[in-house]
Amino acid sequence: MPGGCPVSWSALAAATDPEPIPVTLDEAAEKATNAASWVEENWSTWLNTGLRILLILVVALLLRMAVRRALTKLIERMNRSAQAVEGTALGGLLVNTERRRQRSEAIGSVLRSVASFLILGTAGLMVLGAFKIDLAPLLASAGVAGVAIGFGARNLVTDFLSGVFMILEDQYGVGDSVDAGVASGEVVEVGLRVTKLRGVDGEIWYVRNGEIKRIGNLSQGWATAGVDVTVRPTEDLDRVRAVITAAADSMAKEEPWDERLWGPVEVLGLSEVLLDSMTVRVSAKTMPGKKLGVERELRWRIKRGLDEAGIRIVGGVPAQAEEAAGDPTAGMAAPSAFASTTSPQSAAATPLPKPDLSK
């Protein structure tokens, strides 16, 4: 630099900056007037849009609240009707109160979620429309995405819809013994997509709801216990019927069988008649899930009653062996002429003595 005097950067920057353009009062007033006129021209549009959005949100929230409250009251009414039926003769044929309460709560939760999604989703689209946003591309994109997701996750959608209808129709619940075709066992958990079953060996089966084509519920309504009594064809049928009826009546008067039997034990008659046996069919209506225990107890009591009456069940001592045991000489061989040493047959069979060649 000339003279060797350093120049500060601040002074250099001040020297190079352009001078500020002065703003007059007329220009400022003109800008303020333009802004005020622009606001005056658009405030009505803003107010109209804001009120429309506010109205949409208020209506959506009120509608959502009303729908959820109506669904809650419907669920409570279902629970009250279930409690009124409980304890009557008809209540024994239906599922218990706790089971119906859980099912109704699950249905209510699903319905409330679906209602909230539909109402709030529609309100969101209406708000976007209030902002003058073209919804056609958005709806088209959503449609294409929905179709793609539908094709890619069709099994998931099928499982979900099947689970919803299973819950709505109360096809089974936790604790029921069911036969689902692909697996059978006790229901451990019921979901909208998968049902968990515990098999007889303790294994857990995960069954997709969409794969279940049929359901055999062994825990709803009532079960039928059937016992076949096979006796000899020479037995008196009236006597056999009387013994079976007496054993069944004594069983129906004792605990806990008086609760597990939901009807009288019936002797249906002969189900099979053969040359060496005849089969009498016995049936009883029982509490669901108690069929096997009732059948075992019926067999026990019927067997004891038949033994006391002297009626033998086929499958014990065979008839031929019993007849042979009555005659002690039946198993002995016929007498033989060779058993006596003095008989002509024995003498003829005796070998001749060898000649003495020394003489």
Q: Which residues, 6+ apart, have CB-to-CB distance to 319 below 8 Å?
A: 232, 276
| 290 neighbors 260 (Cβ within 8 angstroms) | yes
Low-confidence ranges of the chain (pLDDT < 50): 1-7, 9, 11-15, 17, 85, 88-94, 316-317, 319-325
What pLDDT is stored for residue 92 in this prediction?
Answer: 45
Q: How far is CA 182 from the centre of its chain?
A: 13
265 and 298 Cβ atoms separated by less than 8 Å? yes
Q: What pLDDT, in 10s, does the model give residues 265-283?
A: 888 888 888 888 899 999 9
What pLDDT was estimated at residue 62? 93
pLDDT of residue 21: 53
Which alpha helices (H) appear in 17-134, and where do they start and end?
Answer: 25-85, 97-130
Q: Which residues pair with 261 in a beta bridge?
A: 286
Helices (H) and strands (E) in the chain, counts: 10, 8
**Tokens at 37, concatenated:** 């006129």
User: Which DSSP state fits 317?
Assistant: S
In degrees rounded to 5, what are phi and psi of residue 231?
-125, 175
| pLDDT given at position 330 | 53
For residue 292, CA distances in Å to 6, 34, 223 come to: 111, 93, 10
Considering Cα of 254, then 256, then 261, then 262, what sign does the dihedral take?
Answer: positive
Angle formed at CA 358 by CA 354 and CA 359, multiple of 5 degrees: 100
Structure tokens belonging to residue 293: 């225990």
* Beta bridge partner(s), residue 228: 281
- Cα–Cα dist 268/248, whole Å: 13
CB 281, CB 271: distance < 8 Å: yes
Average per-residue pLDDT for the chain = 76
> Distance between CA 71 and CA 65 in Å, rounded?
10
pLDDT at 335: 59
Confirm if 265 and 280 have CB atoms less than 8 A apart.
no
pLDDT reported for residue 344: 64
